[in-house]
């Protein structure tokens, strides 16, 4: 439209016509280049923010972020979709999916995600939580330490590997020792942030046992720190949640003594 108007106005004045057209093209190019540069800067800022959230292990909630329709599909339906999408990822990376070693990988990964490493997302997999009356009137701290933790960082989907230490004081109920291991494992089997996992373990045990007197310490290595980014293979992350009597410094120190962690004064 604009070119047609200029053509009519400058009919018979070709040199002026081309000069005006070139000038307008110059203005438009500058405008689009400025817009493009702004867009690229915005995308760069977004990428930096995404990286910062991941590298800082930021968590926005104490509950695992799940959609309302998270469990409308069956496990087999999820496996089929993940298998297709993971095959696309491998194809994009340039891998030959006809190779004998690779052709079954998308299916294996999909089954692993749904049935194993992320099985704790589904409430139907929550371990039974029966308790018993404390008939022997045990009133001291009970500690279950060195519980193996295998989880997955929700920011990079790389493993978190470590140990959990759980303790409680009975308010009339006791729980089977293996149940504490299973509760830790349940909350570990999902994309996680270690701080959230520590809180979730304590809250669940408080709910089951009807007492605030529960504590949990987790010491774990994050492969998103150890194998990428800073690549620090020596460091580990320690998180703790103390409830009820464990907020007392002397009680807290007693617990930490059991698991051989010193409390700074």
Nearest residue to 159 (alpha-carbon basis) of 116, 126, 217:
116
Looking at the fold, whether 137 and 245 belong to one and the same domain comes out as yes
pLDDT in the model for residue 252: 97
Do both 189 and 91 map to the same domain? Answer: no
Are residues 238 and 148 located together in one domain of the fold? yes
Q: Quick check: 151 pLDDT over 90?
A: yes
**Interhelix angle 2-9/14-55, nearest 10 degrees:** 160
The answer to whether residues 138 and 239 belong to one domain is yes
- Asked if residue 4 has pLDDT above 80, the reply is no
Q: Do 138 and 225 have their domain in common?
A: yes
For residue 54, the model assigns a pLDDT of: 52
Residues marked active site are found at 153-156, 194, 222, 224
The answer to whether position 25 is within a domain reads yes
Q: Which of 89, 117, 145 is the last residue of a domain?
A: 117
Asked if 224 and 155 sit in the same domain, the reply is yes
Q: What is the mean pLDDT of residues 98-124?
A: 97
pLDDT over 70 (residue 104): yes
Q: Among the listed ranges 21-35, 166-180, 182-196, which one has the minimum average pLDDT value? A: 21-35
State how many domains the chain has. Answer: 3
Question: Is 21 a domain residue?
Answer: yes
For residue 209, the model assigns a pLDDT of 95
Arithmetic mean of pLDDT over the chain = 88
Considering the domain boundaries, does residue 70 fall inside one? no
The whole domain housing 145 covers 131-258
Verify that 136 and 250 share a domain, yes or no: yes
In a domain, 62, yes or no: no
- C-alpha span between 157 and 190 (Å, rounded): 10
User: What is the separation of C-alpha 100 from the centre of its chain, rounded to a whole number of angstroms?
Assistant: 32
Contacts 24+ apart (CB under 8 A), 134-142: 134/170, 134/172, 134/173, 134/174, 138/170, 138/174, 139/169, 139/170, 140/169, 141/167, 141/168, 141/169, 141/251, 141/254, 141/255, 141/258, 142/167, 142/168, 142/169, 142/170, 142/174
Q: Is 32 within a domain?
A: yes
Last residue of one domain, picked from the residues 117, 151, 178 = 117
Look at the alpha carbons of 225, 227, 228, 232 in this order and tell me if their dihedral is positive or negative: positive
User: Does residue 60 fall inside a structural domain?
Assistant: no
Q: 24-77: per-residue pLDDT in tens?
A: 677 777 777 777 667 667 666 666 555 655 556 555 678 999 999 999 999 999
Residues 150 and 111 in one domain: no
Same domain? For 202 and 228 the reply is: yes
* 124 within a domain of the structure (yes/no): no
Cα–Cα distance for residue pair 218/80, rounded to 1 Å? 34
């Amino acid at each position: 439209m604009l070119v047609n108007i200029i053509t009519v106005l400058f009919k018979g004045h070709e040199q002026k016509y081309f000069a005006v057209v070139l000038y307008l093209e110059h203005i438009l190019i500058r405008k689009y280049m400025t817009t493009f540069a702004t867009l690229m800067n915005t995308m760069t800022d977004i990428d930096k923010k995404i990286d910062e959230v991941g590298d800082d292990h930021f968590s926005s909630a104490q509950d695992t972020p799940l959609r309302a329709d998270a469990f409308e599909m069956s496990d087999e339906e999820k496996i089929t979709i993940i298998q297709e999408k993971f095959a696309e990822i491998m194809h994009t990376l340039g891998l030959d999916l006809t190779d004998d070693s690779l052709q079954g990988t998308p299916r294996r990964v999909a089954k692993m995600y749904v049935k194993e490493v992320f099985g704790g997302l589904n409430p139907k997999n929550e371990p039974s939580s029966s308790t018993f009356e404390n008939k022997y009137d045990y009133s001291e701290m009970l500690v279950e330490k060195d519980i193996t933790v295998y989880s997955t960082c929700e920011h990079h989907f790389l493993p978190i590997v470590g140990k959990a230490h759980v303790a409680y004081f009975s308010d009339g109920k006791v729980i089977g020792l293996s149940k504490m291991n299973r509760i830790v494992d349940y909350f570990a089997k999902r994309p996680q942030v270690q701080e959230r996992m520590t809180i979730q373990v304590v809250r669940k045990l408080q709910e089951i046992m009807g007492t605030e007197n529960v504590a949990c310490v987790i010491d774990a290595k994050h492969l998103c720190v150890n194998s990428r980014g800073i690549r620090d293979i020596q460091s580990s992350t320690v998180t703790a949640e103390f409830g009820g009597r464990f907020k007392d410094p002397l009680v807290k120190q007693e617990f930490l003594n059991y698991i051989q962690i010193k409390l700074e004064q």
